[in-house]
Amino acid sequence: MHFMKQYAVLFCCTGNICRSPTTEGLVMKKVADARLDRRKLIDSAGTHGYHIGEPADRRTQEAA
């Protein structure tokens, strides 16, 4: 039986409303397109709690 390795990736920026969620969205799309989404856990986080509970910036959502 062949076991596929699983990976976890965390993208971090200061507030988790622009850079890290954009990167998370782009990488999730690439991983899904490559049909590797079952093998990957992808998430984003911020190093400071400036924007707790806020969604990603509107421009970030549109771009990602």
Active site positions, annotated: 13, 19
Q: What DSSP letter does each residue of 5-59 carry, written as one string?
A: --EEEEEEESSSSSHHHHHHHHHHHHHHHTT-GGGEEEEEEESS-TTTTPPPPHH
